[in-house]
Structure 1
C-alpha cells in the first residue's frame, strides 16, 4: 500500500519540471466566472488515482441520475498537459495546491460561482482561505496531508524539531526524502525561515545546512523509510503522511510521526472547473455532494485520506484514523505549516543549491 506515498512523491518531484516551464504563468487571474448554463446528465472528472472512492461516485450517481466518468493521472503535469492541449472534455479536475496557481496563470481553470456552492463553511479553517487560492476562488479542497518527520523512540527518546534530523548523535541512522523541495522544507525551517521562501540568501543558508547534514545521513529515501523506522535501521526520517506511514505508526508503538515545531508543510488536492467545461451544472452538484460532511467522511473511511472537511470528522467511522497524526495531524500542529507553493523564478536557486548538496 505505497500508492499514496508514491503518488505524493511524483507530485512533489514534478514541481521541478512544471515550475521551470510555467513559472511565468503563476499569479495570474481568470476573467469571468464559470457559466452555470452547462447541463446534461454526465460528469467527466480527471483526478488522482484512488482519491475519490467508488462509494462516493456510486452514491452520487444513484442520488442524481448523473453518469460519472473518472479518468486518473499520476502527476499534476500529466493533468496540466491534458488541459493545455485544449478540448479535454473534463468538467472537473483535481489539482494540487501549487498546480492551482499554475492553472490560474494559464487560464485553464475558471473562477467558481460561489452562489452555486453549498457547504464551504464545512471546510477546516486551514482550507477556507488558503494562500494558493485566496477565498477559494478557483478550487475547493478535498483531501490533504503533511510533510514532517518520524522517529523510533528506542533510538530517539523524544523529538519535536527538525533539529533531530541534523543531530550528529544519530549519524548513519537518519534519512531525508529524496526530493529537492521536500528537503528544502527542513533546510529552510531549521535555519529560521519559511518553507515558502524564495529569497536567494535564505535558500543559500538552507543549502549550507543541508550540505552539513549530509555528512550524518544514511541516505535519501522516498520509498521504504517507514519500514526502516519500524525495523530500527533508521532513528529518524523526513516523511510524508499517508497510508504507508500511518500503518507503521498504528502498528508500532515505538514509531511516531511529527509535524515539527518549526512548521512542516501541508499539501491538498481539490476540485476545480476547467475552462470550456460543458457539464457545469453537474460539476457544481458534485462539488456540493463532496462538501456534505457524511460524504466527505468517506474520503477517510473508504479512501484512507484526511478530509479537508472539518464537519466530516464526526461522521468518520475509523476513529483510529482521526487519532493517527500520519493521517490527521492535530489542528494545533499545522497552525504554522505552510502550503508548498510554486517558487516561480526562484526555482533556479533551489536547483543550483540541490546540485551542491548532492555533490557534497
Structure 2
C-alpha cells in the first residue's frame, strides 16, 4: 500500500503531467476524465461503467496526493473525478479545488460504513465519497516472540526486544506510535504532545533494528525482526496468509486509518457523468470489486456479501474488525502543526 505523506504548507511544485482536455458542447457528457491512484479503482470498474453507460473513461494516475493537488491547482486540469486521501480532501477544500457534492444527485450513501459516513476530515461527506480504506498497525512473528502476543505499541519501545524492532521510515507514520504510546491521538496538533512523542522516538531509536518501509514484511516473516510497525493492505495480507506465525493487529492504543475517496474537481467539464460514476461506485456489487480485483477494503459495507473470497473479510490486514476500526484515528492535515512534526523528526533522525 502507499505511504501517507504530507507536503509542507504552501509548497506547490510545477509538474508536467499528462492531463485530460476539457470538453464542452454536444457529446461532452459522453466522456469522464479521472485522476486517481494506480489500480485502486480497478480497470474492471471502468470497463463495466463504459459498457453500461456508453461513457468513455480517460484515466491518469498520480503517485502522491501532493502531485494531484499541484495538478488541480493549475486551474486547467480538465479532470472530472479525483481520488484524494483523507487529509488531501481537507487541503483541496481549503484551496477551493473540489466541488461541494449535490446529495440530491447521489444514491447509495447509506451503504457507506458508519466509521466513514461522517468523518472528521469531511463532516457529512460534503466533498468526498469514501471508496477504499486501510490501516496502520503492528506486524509480528509469534515464533520470534516466543509465543508472546503483541497487542500494544509499547512493545515497539520495550528494550526486551532490542535489535528486533522495525519502524516505518515515514515521519507521520512513526508519530502515530510515538503519540499513541503516550496516550495522545495520532492526529494531535498540540505542540507539547508532539514534543513528548518526539522524545519517545528519540529514546526508542537506539534499540531499533532500523527504519524500513520497503521489505519490513519479509524481515518479520523470516524472523530477522520480531515485530514492525506496518501498513495494512494487499502485501501485508499475503504475508499473513503465507505464514501462520505472522499476525497483523491494530494496537490497543488504536492505530490509524487512511481513506481514499471520490471527489468532483472544481469546474469539472462533465459533472453529470461524474455523478453517474459516483452512483455506479456506490452499488454494493461494484464496491466489492475494490476487494475482488484490487485487494483493498471497500468503504461500502453492503459490498461484503459480494466479496468472492470471504476470508478477506476476517483478515485484519485488509478488513480490521469493527471494534478496532472504531478505536482507530484518522490521520488528518496537521496544518500549522506540521512544523512541530518536521522539527521533531529532524531531531529523531539526527539522534
TM-score range, shorter chain: over 0.9
1:213-242 C-alpha deviation (Å, 9 max, x unpaired)? 111100000000000010000101000011
Q: Deviations over 1:297-334 (max 9, x none)?
A: 00000011110000000110011211211111111111
Q: Is the 8 A contact 1:176 1:221 kept in 2?
A: yes
Determine which of 8, 21, 37 is the counterpart of 2:11.
21
Shift of 1:39: 5.8
Judging changes above 3 Å, is the alpha-carbon distance between structure 1 residues 201 and 187 closer, same or farther for their aligned structure 2 residues?
same
For the residues of structure 2 that align with 1:70 and 1:151, how far apart are their CA atoms? Answer: 38
Query: Pick from 323, 328, 333: which aligns with 1:337?
Result: 328
Asked if 1:203 is matched to 2:194, the reply is: yes
Q: CA deviation at 1:110?
A: 1.0
Equivalent pairs counted in the alignment come to 335
Matched, 1:250 2:259: no
Distance 2:309 2:187 in 1: 33
Aligned residue among 42, 53, 61 for 1:53 = 42
- Cα distance in structure 1, aligned partners of 2:142 and 2:170: 25
Q: Does 1:84 align with 2:56?
A: no
Query: For 1:1-360, what aligned pairs fall within 5 Å after superposition?
Result: 5=1, 8-9=2-3, 12-13=4-5, 15=6, 17-19=7-9, 21=11, 40-156=29-145, 157-360=148-351
Name the CA distance, whole Å, in 2 between partners of 1:75 and 1:103.
14
Unpaired stretches in structure 1, ≥5 consecutive residues: 23-37
TM-score of the superposed pair, with normalisation by structure 1: 0.91
- Distance in 2 (CA, whole Å) between partners of 1:51 and 1:18 is 26
Q: Is the Cα–Cα contact under 8 Å of residues 39 and 281 in structure 1 kept in the other structure?
A: no
Partner-residue secondary structure (3-state), 2:198: helix
Q: Is the contact between residue 39 and residue 280 of structure 1 (CA under 8 Å) also seen in structure 2?
A: no
Q: Secondary structure at the match of 1:80?
A: helix
Residue 21 of structure 2 is matched in structure 1 by none
Instruction: State the Cα RMSD in Å.
Output: 1.2
Q: Distance in 1 between matches of 2:329 and 2:161?
A: 27
- Secondary structure at the aligned position of 1:328 is classed as coil
Q: Distance in 1 between matches of 2:133 and 2:10?
A: 25
Mapped partners of 1:151, 1:294: distance in 2: 34
Deviation at 1:19, TM superposition (A): 3.7
| Distance in 2 between residues matched to 1:274 and 1:229, nearest whole Å | 41
Q: Distance in 1 between matches of 2:67 and 2:91?
A: 13
Unaligned runs of 5+ in 2: 13-26
4+ residue runs over 4 A deviation = none
TM-score using structure 2 length: 0.94
Residue 18 of structure 1 and its aligned partner are, at CA, apart by: 4.3
In 1, Cα distance between equivalents of 2:196 and 2:11: 26
